[in-house]
Structure 1
Amino acid sequence: MKNRYSLLQISLHWLTLLMIVLAYGAMLGRDYFPDDYRALVRQLHYNFGLSVWVLVFIRILLRHRFRTPPITPPLPRWQAHVATLTHWLLYLLFLALPTLGFLTVQFAGRSIYLLGWELPQLVPAHPEWRSGLRNTHELVANIGYYLVALHALAALFHHYFMKDDTLKRMLP
């Protein structure tokens, strides 16, 4: 039995991470850009975030298409359950986060340009809803820091301390 993810799954995993880092980086670094570039940085954030949504959706489809390679030596059952739960929480987080961000912008009545094309306004502007959505988007984004860190630390823990192939299954 194959003990690694497919090359497509591995590539999409690391591309998703890159887009997440760029999305977070655009928002965290926006104050370091001159005012003339803030709108561009915001649009980059939107594009990176929407690309995360697309990539995660594709990854979920691939997860159903390809079997998850076994970990050698096998994990205790409770660890396997925690790993599965964490993966699904990550998927949920990175589907919810761009959705919340998209709705925040839509309800603010602002435009989103995806790869240069303006996306249609799908909902009427409701500026009073924007604040709650934005706060929820930011809360979920902050939760994302911890969940991604947990995921990375678990992979490193398994690699260096448990000496299993958890991390190797996802390395290029």
Structure 2
Amino acid sequence: MVVRFAKSQIVLHWLTLLMVILTYAAMLLKDSVPDDNIALVKDLHFNFGISVFVLMFIRLGLRHSNPSPPITPPLAQWQALGSKVFHWLLYLLFLSLPVLGFLTLAYGGKTWMLLGWQVPQWITPDPVMRSWLRTIHETLANTGYFIIGAHVLAALYHHYFRRDDTLRRMMPGK
């Protein structure tokens, strides 16, 4: 019986976390850098966000082909349901945030870089739509702190209080 996630899933989980941290850090630091570097920091934020989007799609594919190993001892039904809901919220969050950010930039009418390439303007700029999309993007990003925090707290609760293998199933190593 499989007791851990596949190595590819473990690597992608922690790589996604790194990209999420870098994405959030870039936006949090944009007001702390010299004006000459603000565009670079925004481009980094965007590119890190796109990498999260790509990683999440890959992770969804792996999740489909590699079922989650069972938790030992098994969870109560309400905990199993809560786990599924929060995992799908994480997937939805990190798939929708990059799309909203991408559309915000597109409707903003400004030039921007994707992996070193200038993205052409393909949508007629619309300041009202840009503002609306940006508000949704920022609100969801702020909600992300709660969802990520709940995910981390649940993993720590399972490891230190419940003493099951929830966290160990996703830890790197043997």
TM-score by length of 2: 0.96
Which letter does structure 2 place at the counterpart of 1:123? Answer: I
For 1:122 and 1:94, locate their aligned partners in 2 and report how far apart those are by CA, in whole Å: 24
Equivalences for 1:46-85 in 2 at 5 Å?
Answer: 46-85=46-85
Q: How far does the alpha carbon of each residue in 1:46-91 deviate from its partner, in whole angstroms, 9 at most, with x for none?
A: 0000100110111111100101010000101110011011000100
> Does structure 2 conserve the Cα–Cα contact (< 8 Å) formed by 1:46 and 1:112?
no
Which letter does structure 2 place at the counterpart of 1:65? Answer: S
> Does structure 2 conserve the Cα–Cα contact (< 8 Å) formed by 1:56 and 1:95?
yes
Equivalent in the alignment of 1:7: 7
For 1:6 and 1:122, locate their aligned partners in 2 and report how far apart those are by CA, in whole Å: 40
Shift of 1:110: 1.8
Identity over the aligned pairs, expressed in percent?
Answer: 58
For 2:87 and 2:122, locate their aligned partners in 1 and report how far apart those are by CA, in whole Å: 30
Q: How far does the alpha carbon of each residue in 1:123-170 deviate from its partner, in whole angstroms, 9 at most, with x for none?
A: 221122111111110000010000000000000000000000000000
Which letter does structure 2 place at the counterpart of 1:21? Answer: I
> Where in structure 1 do 4 or more consecutive aligned residues deviate above 6 Å?
none
Shift of 1:30: 0.8
Equivalent in the alignment of 1:112: 112
For 2:3 and 2:23, locate their aligned partners in 1 and report how far apart those are by CA, in whole Å: 31
> Does structure 2 conserve the Cα–Cα contact (< 8 Å) formed by 1:27 and 1:41?
yes
Q: CA RMSD in A?
A: 0.9
Equivalent in the alignment of 2:96: 96
SS at match of 1:31: coil
2:121 counterpart of 1:121: yes
For 1:80 and 1:88, locate their aligned partners in 2 and report how far apart those are by CA, in whole Å: 12
Equivalent in the alignment of 2:138: 138
Shift of 1:112: 2.8
Which letter does structure 1 place at the counterpart of 2:2? Answer: K
Q: How far does the alpha carbon of each residue in 1:88-107 deviate from its partner, in whole angstroms, 9 at most, with x for none?
A: 01000001111111100000
Shift of 1:114: 1.7
For 1:153 and 1:120, locate their aligned partners in 2 and report how far apart those are by CA, in whole Å: 42
TM-score by length of 1: 0.97
For 2:120 and 2:39, locate their aligned partners in 1 and report how far apart those are by CA, in whole Å: 18
The count of residues paired between Structure 1 and Structure 2 equals 172
Equivalent in the alignment of 1:16: 16
Shift of 1:111: 2.4
